[in-house]
Amino acid sequence: MNKEMEMKEVELNELDQEKQPMTGETPEKNGCVKVKVPEDTEVKFTGLSKDELLRVAGTTGWVRTRLMLLVLFWLGWVGMLAGAVVIIVQAPRCKPIPEMHWWNEGPLYQIADVKAFSGDKGFKGVEEKLDNLNQLKVKGLVLGSIHSVQADHQATLDLKTINPEMGNEKDLNSLLERAHKKGISIVLDLTPNYEGAAAWFNNAAAVGEKLKEACAYWLHKGVDGFLMSDLGQIAVTAAWPSIQGVVQTNVTEGTKKTALMGSITSVSVDDASLLLNNSGVDLLLTDLPDLTQSGVDLAQDINKLYFSHPQTSLGWSPGGRTPGQLTSKFPAVPIRLYHMLLFTLPGTPVFNSGDEVALKEGEPLDAIWDLESPTEEKNETVKSVRAERSEVRSFFKALSDLKGKERALLHGEFISLHSSASSFAFLRLWDQSERFITVLNWADTPITIALVHSDLPAEARVRLSMDSEMLAVDSMVPLEKLQLGPKQAVLLSYPYAG
């Protein structure tokens, strides 16, 4: 090894020695300092003793600091308390929710002909359709009449026996149990002579006692209410108070209430109002509203009923009891326009089987269920009809969903905003909830209207529309110059502004 190599090795050794750990086992080199650190040594913090703490705590600085912190704490606490009181005092008070019952929470669905509706399966067929009805947010089914009687033969009347064509009590019990699990109530139509010329055999007083016994019997079976057609005839008999006593029994808070309902047709608003007062029914079904009349008259009729009676007792059933009659009775008015009106008026909308798909009177009810099983349809006419019915049903479902969850539509105030020969607009509002505006035009020409009220903003949002091109859902439209096409309806909303 030459001298140059030896010098490099020495330098490397020296460098390596500098990097050696200072453990005390090697001699010091190049000015390195060796420090011995015991491996098991623990550093303990003992802090101040009690006497030392007491001496420090008693000094002037610490006394002032503690006093200052105490004052700041109580000032902050008092400030937060005062702020909370101010917020509570200045915050708008919530209005108490009015008393609501199950028949006020959504639409009622009438099945006058149980046999036809169920495809000759009776109660079992109705039970099979409960899932479909539940999708429509239906809150109650009005069945029948289902009792045994021969048309116009009073002697054959038996209100406690089921017509065998519809099933038996076991089938009815099964329907009741399944419907209640889905939150759907069952109402029986106890109109005695339902297949005859006169609903009460022209002698309502004679069947009053039987009616009272039947109500008690079916209540015991779990039925949720009763409907009497041509209410004016039975409500003036001596038996009526005892019938009320059986059905409208006092219930404890939180218990489901039994409904006593009546229906009337072709009577004036004044007569309907008088009957509602005198009969004391929980819900009166009328054949209003009628969109073949003037919008001015319509506004007056609805205002008269709304301001004279609780809206919880108002039921709207312009289609009557016959399936498909709503479409057939008013052929010039699109049924969706009626849907919009009935769902947004104060009160309970009542529909017949088939109204949700614009079924016409005399058409088979199978058309309702065909939409649930889509198939490849080659016939263009049939395909077009199916598409239209599906669109109507979707519109119905959307309105029913809004009716069930929006407080303004459930029990809000009603304010008429506009009426003309063929148009009508009104506002529904409740306390601090979303507000809703319904606008309808059943004329053959478009309209431009100005909606003015102290609560209204400059524009509102489209929630549901029959004209998706002119009034697209979620678009904002001006209220001082609202345009609506012929035979169109729109539902608008805007938030509570404080």
Residues 65-79 pLDDT 10s: 888 888 999 999 999
| pLDDT for the residue numbered 28 | 47
Q: What's the distance, CA 1 to chain centroid?
A: 101
Q: Label residue 297 exposed, middle or buried (CB < 10 Å: 0-12, 13-18, 19+).
A: middle
pTM for the whole thing?
0.82
| pLDDT for the residue numbered 32 | 53
| pLDDT for the residue numbered 58 | 75
Asked if residue 151 lies in contact with residue 195, where contact means CB atoms within 8 angstroms, the answer is: yes
| pLDDT for the residue numbered 251 | 64
Assign domain 414-494 to its CATH superfamily.
Answer: Golgi alpha-mannosidase II (2.60.40.1180)
Q: Which long-range contacts does 243-249 make (Cβ < 8 Å, 24+ apart)? A: 243/208, 243/211, 243/212, 243/215, 244/280, 246/212, 246/215, 246/216, 246/219, 247/215, 247/219, 248/280, 248/282
Q: CA angle at residue 126 from 226 to 362, to 5 degrees?
A: 90
Strand, coil or helix: what is 311? Answer: helix
Determine how many CB atoms are found less than 10 A away from the CB of residue 442. Answer: 22
* Separation CA 347–CA 227 (nearest Å): 17
* Separation CA 211–CA 217 (nearest Å): 10
* Separation CA 342–CA 287 (nearest Å): 11
Half-sphere exposure for 112 (CA within 13 Å, toward CB): 19
Q: Which long-range contacts does 65-70 make (Cβ < 8 Å, 24+ apart)? A: none
* Separation CA 333–CA 340 (nearest Å): 12
Sign of CA dihedral 319, 320, 324, 325: negative
Residue corresponding to tokens 């700041």: 72
Phi, psi of 185 (to 5 degrees): -90, 155
pLDDT < 70 positions in the chain:
1-46, 48, 91-92, 250-254, 370-378
Class of domain 103-405: alpha beta
The tokens of 374 are what? 């889509």
With a CB cutoff of 8 Å and minimum separation 6, the contacts of 291 are 298, 330, 333, 337, 338, 341, 440, 442
Residue corresponding to tokens 């999708």: 135
Asked if residue 437 lies in contact with residue 492, where contact means CB atoms within 8 angstroms, the answer is: yes
| pLDDT for the residue numbered 214 | 97
Pairing of strands 283-286, 314-316: parallel
**Phi-psi region at 354: left, alpha or beta (left = phi > 0; alpha = psi -120 to 50):** left
Q: Which long-range contacts does 69-76 make (Cβ < 8 Å, 24+ apart)? A: none
Q: Which long-range contacts does 162-170 make (Cβ < 8 Å, 24+ apart)? A: 165/115, 165/122, 166/114, 166/115, 166/122, 166/123, 167/122, 167/123, 167/124, 169/221
Q: Label residue 355 exposed, middle or buried (CB < 10 Å: 0-12, 13-18, 19+).
A: buried
| pLDDT for the residue numbered 378 | 67
Per-domain residue ranges of the chain: 1-42, 58-90, 103-405, 414-494
Strand, coil or helix: what is 402? Answer: helix
Alpha-carbon distances, residue 459 vs 263, 411, 450, 462, 481 (angstroms) = 40, 24, 11, 10, 10
* Separation CA 378–CA 381 (nearest Å): 9
| pLDDT for the residue numbered 4 | 54
| pLDDT for the residue numbered 36 | 59
